[in-house]
Amino acid sequence: MGLAVCLFPYSSSSEVVNSSTNNAAKDAYIWQMLNLFPSQTGLTVKGVFHQYTLDKSEGTNGFVTIKNKNADGTGNIYENVDNWNGIAGSTKIGYDPVTPSLLPLWGEGSISVTGDGTLSDVSVNYHYSFDPCFIPLSDPSCPDFQANLYQYLLNNNLLDTDPNINDPYYNEWVKFQLDRKAEKQKEQKLKEAKEEEEKEELSIEFVLATSGAVEKIADPAEQLNMITKMAAVGKINSYYDVTIDGGVYQDTLQLNDSNIQDNRRVLRNLRNDDSHRSMVRSQYKD
């Protein structure tokens, strides 16, 4: 049973999570960053909130420094220095937005005093955000989960074979198979229902089209009308089918002279006809 190339989508949702850490300086003034954040790939640090109280006499000099080293050991990725020279100690509250950068770039953090003064009530919190679907395969609800799962199966030659039960995405593979089967069954039922509906519509149209034809054929007057129309078509078509040869018909009569002689025989016949009519009419005279 292999996984089909066409994968059916899950309902998807992906919202960026914004939050902040607990107090990094709660137990010590030096801390490790990875212990403060959730184990989320793609997490970025966006700002540093800090609050502390400096116990210091006016007229003395001192600096308070909050910093994070670069994870590669070259300098600091974040540094904030407060100058307290000649100022009496007090409480400081601040927030430093930073260019969002990935958590693995942030090394050891610390807060310290250079010069006179003592720290108390220290709080350092990091503002961060992450996309739960930064790695789409982390959750089936991620929008690109199915595409990435397909690519994973393709890269590991699992499209046409069953994955090992110990494969980290074995359960998702099984779920895809079940969803695929259910989707195919649903599509088949919809197709069959549509075909049945189309058949019923055709049957109704046929009945409506022929329901009046039987009555017309059984009507004598309608039969005569139909026969008359058929006969008329045949007569007309016979004229349409006649072909008359074209061309020019020349005169064949020729006159030898310009005088036409009277036909004496015809004249005698005309006189006889006149005598005959006179005899017939005389019979009806009083």
Alpha-carbon distance of 176 to 55, in angstroms, equals 63
- ∠ CA 34-108-135, nearest 5°, is 30
Alpha-carbon distance of 118 to 52, in angstroms, equals 10
Residues 211-237 have a mean pLDDT of 64
179, amino acid identity: D
202 vs 62, higher pLDDT: 62
**Single pTM value for the model:** 0.49
Question: How does the average pLDDT of the chain come out, rounded?
Answer: 77
Average the pLDDT over each of 16-30, 40-54, 126-140 and give the range with the smallest value. Answer: 126-140
- ∠ CA 144-145-150, nearest 5°, is 105
Residues 115-133 have a mean pLDDT of 94
pLDDT value at residue 209: 58
Distance of CA 84 to the CA centre of its chain: 62
Q: In what order do the strands lie in the sheet with 17-20?
A: 17-20, 118-130, 44-55, 91-102
Best-predicted range by mean pLDDT among 32-46, 127-141, 166-180, 207-221?
Answer: 32-46
Domain segments of the chain: what residues?
17-130
Residue 163 predicted with pLDDT over 70: no
Strands annotated E in 133-265: none
Residues 178-185 have a mean pLDDT of 74
Residue 252 predicted with pLDDT over 90: no
Structural class in CATH, domain 17-130: mainly beta
